[in-house]
Structure 1
Amino acid sequence: MHKKKQSHMKIQKEKFIQLIFIKQALQFGQFKLKSNRYSPYFFNSHCFYNGADILQIGEIYSDMIYASKVHIDVIFGPAYKGIPLATATVIALKNKYNLEVPYFFDRKEYKQYSDIGYIIGKKYNKKKIVIIDDVITSGKTIQKSNKIINILKNQNSISGIFFLFDREEFGTSNKYTAKKELQKKYNCPIISMISITDIIKYCTEHNIYPTDLSKIVKYYQQYKPSNKINT
């Protein structure tokens, strides 16, 4: 059974990488990131904008969550890109695994009337929260998400954080990868569908985007932790 799950996730990974290039979700150029780094590539999950795409993305997250066996009471999708991702995930969890999981998300601005506050959705007490986001770079977005969850108080906690794409860069400490920092801070699984290493391998094997790939490799060498023990 374990090998069957591994095989399924491998197939999902390959299909997702193909979808990335079909939808041109991996974009080349010069991009300033939230981490204030300048990158020669950008992973843009907004390119998965139609029904077929979002169905596949929802299944990817639901498969990762189900395979991880994390305790899940509710899903949180940080604004803005995390909102449709969380929505797609709860639909996929219901359709594929018959799991009825609620979700909630935040606003960027505080609302001062009607449903007052930052949070849209039910207020939860003593729940295990899974966070859904598209990409992990330095981990700043998730650290903000933890602050939002703390607004809810009442002993809610993070049981897992799931991403589509891991850039495998060091986090805010410049010592460990952002993934390792989040694991150490929140003591929960941090899982991504693919990483920049997977993209580099795929492009190399298929001999595509050689010029852009060389820039990506150079950038990756600059921002990955030099000591692999700390990754």
Structure 2
Amino acid sequence: MPDTARDHAQDFLALADDYNALKFGEFTLKSGRVSPYFFNMGEIASGAGMKRLAAAYAATLAEAGIDYDSLFGPAYKGIPLVATVATALADHGHDVAFTYNRKEAKTHGEGGTLVGAPLGTRVVIVDDVITAGTAVREAIATIRAAGAEIAGVLIALDRQERGSDGRSPLAALAEDEGIPTIAVATLADVIAYARVNGLGAEQIEAIEGYRARYGV
């Protein structure tokens, strides 16, 4: 039986490759680690690209099998993501309300930090990647303060590497907050994509070495 989740991951990585959002080489990360690959979803900045991206998110969420009734996009990258993912879900007959936040509270008009539909009772946070997890934890606090539960966190790429406490940021969220975490693709998918698409043996070895050194 085909693994449709992995098919979605490979389609997503092909999209990232098409838009140069997935790069191979040497990249110094905020943590100081030198990574043999880098992912910048901000490069996917066209209507066609966002349509494909949202479809990958929506398919991944549908297959996760979690119970939810609304979506939340943390400012700023989560805002276009949550809107387009909601649109992709609607294309499949699933009309889901979405909400996003402002970085600073609005003091006139409707005021506050939340924009869009009222939060549902079970909310999925939609974002790009998680590094330290600070922005997502802030979103969790905002949603809980509004009286809603977090049904899950959906991101594009899980780098599957250890943070300062020896856990990956996704694992830390799952363990500390009791929240399901879902990624469209993982580092293992990146390696599989690199092999299938003819990345040089030396570069693949560098990625494998990075995973052996920092992976979870």
Name the TM-score, length of structure 2 as normaliser.
0.87
Select 2:160's aligned residue among 151, 168, 183: 168
The answer to whether the Cα contact below 8 Å between 1:172 and 1:178 also exists between their aligned partners in 2 is: no
SS of aligned partner of 2:156: strand
The answer to whether the Cα contact below 8 Å between 1:137 and 1:166 also exists between their aligned partners in 2 is: no
Q: Which residue of 2 aligns with 1:16?
A: 12
User: Which consecutive segments of 4 or more residues in structure 1 shift more than 6 A?
Assistant: none
Counterpart Cα distance in 2 of 1:222 and 1:56: 33
Q: Which residue of 1 aligns with 2:127?
A: 133
The structural deviation recorded for 1:199 is: 1.2
RMSD between superposed Cα atoms in Å: 2.2
Select 1:47's aligned residue among 35, 43, 50: 43
User: Quick one: structure 1 residues 122 and 214, their matched pair in 2 at CA, closer, same or farther if it must change by over 3 Å?
Assistant: same
Counterpart Cα distance in 2 of 1:209 and 1:26: 15
Identity over aligned pairs, percent: 26
RCO comparison, higher one (Cα < 8 Å, 6+): 2
The structural deviation recorded for 1:88 is: 0.9
Select 1:187's aligned residue among 178, 191, 201: 178
Select 1:200's aligned residue among 191, 194, 205: 191
Q: Which residue of 1 aligns with 2:213?
A: 222
Instruction: Tell me which amino acid in the other structure corresponds to 2:184.
Output: M
**Gap regions ≥5 residues in structure 1:** 226-231
Counterpart Cα distance in 2 of 1:119 and 1:150: 13
Q: Is the aligned partner of 1:30 residue 2:24?
A: no
Instruction: Tell me which amino acid in the other structure corresponds to 1:147.
Output: A
Q: Which aligned pairs between 1:68-217 and structure 2 lie closer than 5 A?
A: 68-96=64-92, 98-124=93-119, 127-152=121-146, 154=147, 156-174=148-166, 176-210=167-201, 212-217=203-208
SS of aligned partner of 1:80: coil
User: Quick one: structure 1 residues 56 and 148, their matched pair in 2 at CA, closer, same or farther if it must change by over 3 Å?
Assistant: same
The structural deviation recorded for 1:42 is: 2.5
Counterpart Cα distance in 2 of 1:80 and 1:195: 23
Counterpart Cα distance in 2 of 1:114 and 1:212: 53
SS of aligned partner of 1:88: helix
Counterpart Cα distance in 2 of 1:10 and 1:220: 19
The answer to whether the Cα contact below 8 Å between 1:139 and 1:172 also exists between their aligned partners in 2 is: no
Q: Could you list the per-position Cα deviations for residues 118-175 of structure 1 after superposition, in whole angstroms to 9, with x for gaps in the alignment?
A: 22223436x10001111133333321211222332x2x1111111111011123522x
The structural deviation recorded for 1:219 is: 3.5
SS of aligned partner of 1:79: coil
Instruction: Tell me which amino acid in the other structure corresponds to 1:108.
Output: K
Q: Could you list the per-position Cα deviations for residues 190-217 of structure 1 after superposition, in whole angstroms to 9, with x for gaps in the alignment?
A: 1111111221232234431555544444
Deviates more, 1:82-91 or 1:132-141: 132-141
Counterpart Cα distance in 2 of 1:13 and 1:130: 19
**Gap regions ≥5 residues in structure 2:** none
Counterpart Cα distance in 2 of 1:139 and 1:107: 18
Name the TM-score, length of structure 1 as normaliser.
0.82
The answer to whether the Cα contact below 8 Å between 1:76 and 1:132 also exists between their aligned partners in 2 is: yes
The answer to whether the Cα contact below 8 Å between 1:169 and 1:220 also exists between their aligned partners in 2 is: yes
Instruction: Tell me which amino acid in the other structure corresponds to 2:157.
Output: F
